[in-house]
Amino acid sequence: MRHQLLRRSVALAGVAALALAACGDDDEEAASTTTTVATPAPGARADVVNAQGQSTGQVSFTEGAGRVVVEASLRGLPPGFHGFHVHAVGKCEPPFTSAAGHLTVGAQDHPAHAGDQPALLVAADGTAETRFATDRYRLSDLLTPEGRAIIVHAGADNHGNVPTRYAPGIDQMTKDTGDSGARLGCGVIKRP
């Protein structure tokens, strides 16, 4: 009886050793076939400057999965909410009206312009970081012969949210710009 028990114990130990060895082989094989996915390089970038020509940061644009991911890292701005838009012309001559109006792809009023984006929230120290995805434009809409520009406005964008109790309602300024005011920063969008 003891002899049988010993044989079974040895057999079970052998099976366990083989199972562990097989697991080790699978891990080695899995490790050798694992691939690393790199973050794609930006398809476009804008170096943003203020009216004095000083750098206030960068905005990058990367396309994938039917969307453009916009990432901004900015500094030297007044705290609070600011309009943050893609404008139709790639010129940044102070006071940045050279960038024309918001980018449109087709006929749209504000806040449905292709260039209308979420508000930029600047912290008390004057810095802002934001990341979002949009399907309103493609990189090909940004990288055109006339170019495009990213603009940081002085005020918040109302995104056309004017209550109907305010007569006469939405005016042309809101339809065009969201009443976001002067242009504090501008960057021409181009390939890196």
Does one domain contain both 24 and 50? no
* pTM given for the model: 0.70
Does one domain contain both 31 and 103? no
Reported confidence tier of residue 171, pLDDT bands at 50, 70, 90: low
The region that residue 147 occupies, defined by phi over 0 for left and psi between -120 and 50 for alpha, beta otherwise, is left
Does one domain contain both 49 and 81? yes
Count Cα atoms within 13 angstroms, Cβ side, for 95.
5
Does one domain contain both 127 and 78? yes
Per-residue pLDDT tens over the stretch 147-166: 999 999 998 876 555 556 66
Q: What is the dihedral of CA 58, 118, 100, 74, to 10 degrees?
A: -20
Q: How many structural domains compose the chain?
A: 2
Does one domain contain both 133 and 66? yes
Does one domain contain both 107 and 14? no
Reported confidence tier of residue 5, pLDDT bands at 50, 70, 90: very low
User: With pLDDT > 90 as the criterion, what percentage of the chain qualifies?
Assistant: 51
Residue 23 structural domain: 1-35
